[in-house]
């Protein structure tokens, strides 16, 4: 059977009457610039072996650069294992098959045919990270050397964020928790198994010991026992009170103010209370928010966040993810927890012109569609955006206006 | 022969029973009317809570800091008397029991007030013998058929069942990994349904159950931010989708049946509705909050 197969294959190849070197060497006769690439320190194996047709179709193609298929399919043909079967996290570019964002498919002077060396490659996409890393006073040493000290570039079978291992297992490979100094630095609390990155910025920080920029006062003052049991107690990490009762100890004015208003933001009254949105130790975000505001709010109000993405032009506070520009995150006496007593006043805090030049709005103007409603900004606009221009409720201005001005309907 | 016929009848009834329960006919709603004003012609403002039976309609007229009581008589809505109490200054939920007594949650004081049928304050529901009474934050509540009060307590993550005098009956803990519960409903079999607004799911605990389990899968495909839940007398489940202004109808097994109504200002449209209730005559009342009105629909099968 094998003999017949080989004979058949040989026959079929001969039948194509391919010239010697037809799989690649011949290509270089025209593509002379490739000679330079081939001389680079690292050359992709098919290029090195003169097998251009491993990736390119020599005759016709539906893909750019005469590729035989899309890049994902071509690369995955040989590099199947870049994403493990049960990956916990995977690099978006790898999943999407944008391998050429990082690798030169022919050759490079960098290892693994990378188009740039070291962190420069990572920071070319993760610009914000690169900029903040350059600016911070204290840099985490392994990051300065290479992002790949902690992250896998393609995918991780063990942890999120492409980390090579889970936290703290990854951290304790360098930071030995058994040393007395470790306990001492953590006020003798047993935090060896805690999540290091809930307090420390693993990349770098302006704060010594790489704490996140915004730190809870009792924490930075090492007054852990203000919230937690004593370090030598049977359950030292246990908090002294649950939920908002714990926070109330210091933030009593704020808590009283929250609960004095007509409407509370319900998570404030839930079991986790403050910790639904805030982290108790340190955060990269202001006000110790767990994540950027839009992500914190979007955890529950995902539909609103999705809607605003559809808008051709985003409302400025929405674009900035500044939900608290309009809403009070804790409580309010006003509808939808807005910061002002009414919609017109709220919009007027930025759109000042509406106070002198505007379509009739306010208490005196009844909405023709609803006899118990007056005209305000939301009669025509939706503050988080719509799929239409100017955040209008309808596709065209005439459709919008003739909702009320029916006499002009065509 | 008689025995054979009895057996045949039994077999046929068993075969058709599931068809009858699950083969719910599609429900349609017909717009009937809207309520914009109280008995003195003063407009409703941002109403959030609603309760109804065959004779009575109660509205938590939240923005006006009051309750309103309407009478249902000969298919018409009359009255709209104001019940305004300093002890119930920001009502967000209202209920009525079999004796006609009125109950309301005050959002500011976060407690349940009990009023007589005329609207005079009888007191507040005091929680007797309940575990952790200090950790209590009522988000919503419903009155069950034995006039027991089922309270959605978001602070202790439980549904607490208390009798009319506040005496503790039992509690059922919230299920794990929920998003946020905004409302609950009691079905015709005494089961408790929970509306997970953030997770877009409905959970149920049957009458004697000690835990909740999901009735539906994720409903995000059909609803954006469902905040209110109720059932009809055949066990059908109705959800009100606040952020996109619509109603979802589910079968008693949680299967999606249909989505009705949409966002707007004209009658028959909804603008941030919050809650709904259905009476025994198949009338559906919706707090159309941002339209400052109550809309009434008739359920047609």
Structure tokens, B192: 């408790």
Q: For residue A12, what pLDDT band results from cuts at 50, 70 and 90?
A: low
Q: CB burial class (10 A; 0-12, 13-18, 19+) of residue B151?
A: buried
Alpha carbon of B70: minimum distance to chain A alpha carbons (Å): 18
Residues 147-186 of B with CB under 8 A from A: 154-157, 179-180, 182
Q: Report the chain A residue with the minimal C-alpha distance to residue B196.
A: A300
CB pair distance less than 8 Å for B293 and A267: no
Q: Which residues pair with A338 in a beta bridge?
A: A327
For residue B146, the model assigns a pLDDT of 86
* DSSP state string for A334-393: SGGGBSSSSHHHHHHTT-GGGGTS-SS-EEEEE-TT-TT-EE-GGGTB-TT--SSGGGBS
> Could you read off the pLDDT of A152-167 as tens digits, one per residue?
999 999 999 999 999 9
Q: What is the mean pLDDT of chain B?
A: 91
pLDDT surpassing 50 at residue A314: yes
A-chain CB neighbours of B106 within 8 Å are none
- How far is Cα A269 from Cα A259, in angstroms, rounded to an integer? 9
> Could you read off the pLDDT of B204-231 as tens digits, one per residue?
999 999 999 999 999 999 999 999 999 9
B-chain CB neighbours of A269 within 8 Å are 110, 137, 139, 154-155
> Could you read off the pLDDT of A113-128 as tens digits, one per residue?
999 999 999 999 999 9
A-chain CB neighbours of B110 within 8 Å are 259, 269
Alpha carbon of A260: minimum distance to chain B alpha carbons (Å): 7
- How far is Cα A345 from Cα A342, in angstroms, rounded to an integer? 5
Assess contact for A382 and A347: CB atoms under 8 A: no
CB pair distance less than 8 Å for B43 and A372: yes
CB pair distance less than 8 Å for B179 and A300: yes
For residue B15, the model assigns a pLDDT of 41
Structure tokens, A241: 């009170």
Question: How many residue pairs from chains A and B have C-beta atoms closer than 8 A?
Answer: 71
B-chain CB neighbours of A259 within 8 Å are 110
For residue B2, the model assigns a pLDDT of 54
pLDDT surpassing 90 at residue B24: no
B64 Cβ partners below 8 Å, 6+ apart?
A: B42, B44, B45
A-chain CB neighbours of B88 within 8 Å are none
CB pair distance less than 8 Å for B292 and A370: yes
Q: For residue A4, what pLDDT band results from cuts at 50, 70 and 90?
A: low
Q: For residue A92, what pLDDT band results from cuts at 50, 70 and 90?
A: very high
B-chain CB neighbours of A403 within 8 Å are 265
Q: Does B132 touch chain A (CB under 8 A)?
A: no
pLDDT surpassing 60 at residue B4: no
Among all chains, which residue has been given the structure tokens 């935090």? Answer: A191
Q: State the Cα torsion A180-A182-A184-A186 to the nearest 10°.
A: -150
Structure tokens, B203: 């959970």
Assess contact for B72 and B59: CB atoms under 8 A: no
B179 Cβ partners below 8 Å, 6+ apart?
A: A300, B196, B197, B198, B199, B200, B201
For residue B12, the model assigns a pLDDT of 45
Q: Does B36 touch chain A (CB under 8 A)?
A: yes
Among all chains, which residue has been given the structure tokens 């955060």? Answer: A283
For residue A33, the model assigns a pLDDT of 80
Of B90, B198, B290, nearest to A300 by CB-CB distance is: B198
pLDDT surpassing 80 at residue B6: no
């Amino acid at each position: 059977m094998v003999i017949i197969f080989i004979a058949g294959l040989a026959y079929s190849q001969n039948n194509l009457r391919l010239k010697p070197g037809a799989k690649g060497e011949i290509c270089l006769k025209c593509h002379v610039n490739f000679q330079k690439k081939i001389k680079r320190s690292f050359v992709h194996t098919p290029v090195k072996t003169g097998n251009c047709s491993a990736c390119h179709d020599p005759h016709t193609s539906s893909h750019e650069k005469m590729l035989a298929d899309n890049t994902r399919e071509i690369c995955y043909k040989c590099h199947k294992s870049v994403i493990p079967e049960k990956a916990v996290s995977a690099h978006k570019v790898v999943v999407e098959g944008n391998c050429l964002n990082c690798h030169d498919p022919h050759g490079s002077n960098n290892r693994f045919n990378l188009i740039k060396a070291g962190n420069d490659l990572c920071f070319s996409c993760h610009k914000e990270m690169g900029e903040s890393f350059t600016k911070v006073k204290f840099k985490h040493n392994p990051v300065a050397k290479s992002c790949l000290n902690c992250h896998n570039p393609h995918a991780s079978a063990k942890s999120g964020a492409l980390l090579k291992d889970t936290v703290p297992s990854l951290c304790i490979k360098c930071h030995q928790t058994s040393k007395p100094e470790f306990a001492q630095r953590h006020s003798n609390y047993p935090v060896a198994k805690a999540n290091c990155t809930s307090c420390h910025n693993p990349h770098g920080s302006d704060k010594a010991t790489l704490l996140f920029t915004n730190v809870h006062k009792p924490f930075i003052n090492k007054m852990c026992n203000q919230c937690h049991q004593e370090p030598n107690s049977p359950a030292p990490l246990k908090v002294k009170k649950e939920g908002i009762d714990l926070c109330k100890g210091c933030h009593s004015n704020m808590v009283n103010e929250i609960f004095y208003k007509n409407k509370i933001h319900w998570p404030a009254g839930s079991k986790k209370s403050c910790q639904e949105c805030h982290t108790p130790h340190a955060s990269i975000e202001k006000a110790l928010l767990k994540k950027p505001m839009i992500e914190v709010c979007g955890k529950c109000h995902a539909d609103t966040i999705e809607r605003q993405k559809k808008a051709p032009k985003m409302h400025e506070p929405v674009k900035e993810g500044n939900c608290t520009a309009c809403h009070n995150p804790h409580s309010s006496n006003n509808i939808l927890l807005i910061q002002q007593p009414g919609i017109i006043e709220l919009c007027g805090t930025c759109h000042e012109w509406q106070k002198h030049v505007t379509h009739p709005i306010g208490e005196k103007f009844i909405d023709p569609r609803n006899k118990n409603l007056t005209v305000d900004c939301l009669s025509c606009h939706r503050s988080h955006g719509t799929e239409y221009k100017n955040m209008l409720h309808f596709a065209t201005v005439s459709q919008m206006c003739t909702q009320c001005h029916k006499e002009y309907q065509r | 022969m008689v025995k054979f016929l009895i057996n045949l009848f039994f077999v046929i009834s068993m075969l058709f029973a599931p068809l009858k329960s699950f083969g719910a006919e599609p429900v349609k709603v017909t717009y009937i009317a809207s309520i914009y004003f109280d008995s003195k012609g003063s407009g409703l403002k941002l109403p959030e809570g609603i309760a109804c039976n065959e004779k009575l309609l109660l509205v938590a007229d939240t923005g006006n800091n009051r309750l309103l009581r309407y009478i249902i008589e000969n298919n018409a809505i009359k009255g709209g008397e104001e019940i305004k109490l300093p002890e119930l200054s920001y009502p967000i939920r209202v209920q009525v029991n079999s004796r006609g007594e009125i109950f309301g949650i005050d959002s500011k004081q976060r407690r349940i007030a009990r009023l007589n049928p005329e609207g005079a304050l009888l007191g507040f529901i005091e929680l007797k013998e309940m575990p952790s009474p200090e950790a209590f934050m009522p988000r919503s509540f419903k009155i069950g058929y034995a006039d027991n009060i089922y309270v959605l307590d978001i602070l202790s993550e439980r549904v607490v069942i208390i009798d009319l005098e506040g005496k503790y009956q039992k509690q059922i803990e919230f299920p794990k990994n929920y998003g946020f519960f905004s409302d609950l409903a009691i079905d015709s079999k005494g089961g408790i349904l929970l509306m997970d607004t953030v997770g877009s799911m409905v959970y149920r605990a049957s009458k004697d159950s000690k835990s909740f389990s999901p009735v539906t899968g994720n409903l995000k495909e059909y609803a954006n931010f469902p905040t209110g839940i109720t059932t009809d007398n055949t066990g059908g489940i109705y959800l009100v989708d606040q952020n996109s202004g619509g109603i979802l109808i589910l079968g008693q097994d949680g299967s999606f049946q249909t989505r009705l109504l949409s966002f707007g200002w004209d009658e028959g449209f909804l603008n941030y509705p919050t809650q709904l209730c259905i009476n025994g005559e198949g009338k559906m009342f919706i707090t159309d909050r941002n339209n400052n009105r109550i809309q009434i629909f008739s359920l047609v099968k």
